[in-house]
């Protein structure tokens, strides 16, 4: 297929991860998300839960972050912050995965990391705040924080992380081949649209 790699960036609670999983299943290709994080964890010696927590959060310069870094890296960081080092490792893993074969990669700025490739379909999934609030409560349950607050915090973190590592504004349509409102279109329809674009031949893009 022409678009061998599908990257999915998504707003928290938009169902982007589920869409990615469904698309990978439908196409019979690997899906990377937490697996990717695990792979990173193995390669770096980072504590897995720390990576998972920090993976898409804004770079923290907290003592906590540095403590893990100092413990895990054995001086390999060359003066980089734990977050920056993690970024470099993740970037290499993503470049390797894309080289290896067709796959779906959710999150981790994979769209930006793979921007030089011509066989990559970058997708952004978003939805109205109310739709996402309803979804996170249904999937992850209630917490002390209101759903609106949880969305706001997560969105802000992803925005800052994306800006920090890519220099671009999070959520701009121009960074993606296709952006979809999963609330308006439905998850199944999003999967249909995405998987339908993996077989584009050059003659389909002639004008």
**Residues at the contact surface with a second copy, assessed by CB under 8 A:** 11, 15, 124, 126, 128, 171-174, 176-181, 183-189, 193, 197, 200, 204-207
Alpha carbon dihedral 172, 173, 177, 178, in 10-degree steps, equals 120
Report how far residue 26's alpha carbon sits from residue 22's, in angstroms, rounded to the nearest whole number: 6
Residue 97's nearest CA partner among 23, 89, 27 is 89
Residue 193: CB minimum distance to a second copy, A: 6
180-191 in b/e form (b: 16+ CB < 10 A) is bbbbeeebeebb
**On the CB side of 2, how many CA atoms lie within 13 Å of its CA?**
15
Nearer to a second copy, 108 or 126 (CB): 126
- Of residues 142 and 203, the one with the C-beta less far from a second copy: 203
Shortest Cβ 168–a second copy spacing (Å): 12
Nearest to a second copy of 95, 187 (CB atom)? 187
DSSP class of residue 106 equals E
Element (H, E) at 102: none
End-to-end C-alpha distance for the chain, whole angstroms: 20
Nearest CB to a second copy, comparing residues 102 and 171:
171
Q: Are 164 and 59 in contact (CB under 8 A)?
A: yes
CB of 88 or CB of 169, closer to a second copy: 169
Q: How far is the CB of 186 from a second copy (least distance, A)?
A: 4
CB of 142 to a second copy, least distance (A): 21
Identify the H or E element spanning 8. strand 5-10
Nearest distance in Å: CB 138, a second copy: 10
Can you give the length of the chain in residues? 207
**What's the min distance (Å) between Cβ of 84 and a second copy?**
27
By C-beta, is 44 or 182 nearer to a second copy? 182
């Amino acid at each position: 297929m022409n678009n061998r790699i599908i990257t999915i960036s998504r707003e928290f609670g938009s169902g982007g991860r589920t869409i990615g999983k469904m698309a990978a299943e439908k196409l019979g290709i690997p899906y990377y998300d937490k697996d990717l994080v695990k792979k990173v964890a193995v390669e770096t010696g980072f504590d897995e839960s720390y990576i998972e927590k920090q993976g898409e959060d804004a770079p923290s310069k907290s003592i906590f972050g540095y403590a893990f870094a100092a413990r895990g890296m054995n001086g390999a960081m060359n003066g980089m912050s734990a977050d920056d080092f993690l970024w470099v490792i993740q970037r290499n893993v993503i470049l390797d995965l894309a080289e290896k074969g067709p796959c779906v990669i959710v999150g981790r700025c994979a769209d930006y990391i793979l921007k030089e490739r011509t066989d990559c379909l970058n997708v952004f999934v978003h939805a109205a705040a109310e739709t996402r609030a309803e979804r996170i409560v249904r999937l992850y349950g209630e917490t002390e924080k209101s759903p609106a607050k949880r969305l706001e915090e997560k969105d802000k973190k992803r925005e800052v992380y994306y800006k920090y590592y890519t220099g671009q504004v999070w959520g701009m349509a121009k960074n993606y081949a296709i952006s979809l409102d999963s609330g308006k279109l439905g998850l199944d329809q999003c999967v249909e649209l995405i998987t339908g674009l993996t077989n584009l031949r050059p003659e389909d893009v002639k004008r």
